[in-house]
Amino acid sequence: GGSAMEAVRDVEIDPEGTFKYILVRLQRPGGGEQRDIVRGTKAAEFHNHIFEKVNPEMEKLGYECKCLGGGKIEHNSKDKKIRVFGLSTGYGKADHSVTVEILKKEYTDYEITWSDDKK
């Protein structure tokens, strides 16, 4: 335990609203351990804005980052619901089913769904 990878949170998303998100794969150079994380925020006008913030943070910890795609997250904290949908023009569509599994680790008491709908 105690690896830097464990110190990286699986999920960092805004507590409320609809916003862009990306699925990012972290990897140790030369293979080794890897894992996928979800990052999303209303502050990002474009998906690459999120990646441009995450990438240097992770590089400092010694990881290579690859964006696996993006989409949107609708986070309703009042009803404890999260909906994952849409895609990223630049990165393509993330595998939303993977995103949902990662979100479930963090939001254990939420109803979390996904679809390929654009809206």
Domain for residue 5, yes or no?
A: no
| Catalytic annotation, residues | 47
Give per-residue pLDDT as tens, 39-96.
Answer: 999 999 999 999 999 999 999 999 999 999 999 999 999 999 999 999 999 999 999 9
Contact between 40 and 73 (Cβ < 8 Å): yes
Q: What percent of the chain has pLDDT over 90?
A: 86
Reported as type and span, the H/E element at residue 24 is strand 17-27
Domain for residue 17, yes or no?
A: yes
Domain for residue 4, yes or no?
A: no
Q: CA-CA distances (angstroms) from residue 12 to 26, 29, 47, 111?
A: 15, 23, 14, 18
Domain for residue 36, yes or no?
A: yes
Residue numbers in the known binding site are: 20
Total structural domains within the chain = 1
Average pLDDT over residues 95-108: 98
The dihedral through the CA atoms of 54, 9, 26, 72 has a sign that is negative
Domain for residue 1, yes or no?
A: no
Query: Which residue segment(s) compose the domain that 26 sits in?
Result: 11-115
Domain for residue 2, yes or no?
A: no
pLDDT of residue 1: 46
Would you state the torsion angle of the CA atoms of residues 37, 43, 47, 49, taken in this order, to the nearest 10 degrees?
-90
Domain for residue 49, yes or no?
A: yes
CATH number, domain with residue 34: 3.50.20.20
Residue numbers in the known binding site for substrate are: 20
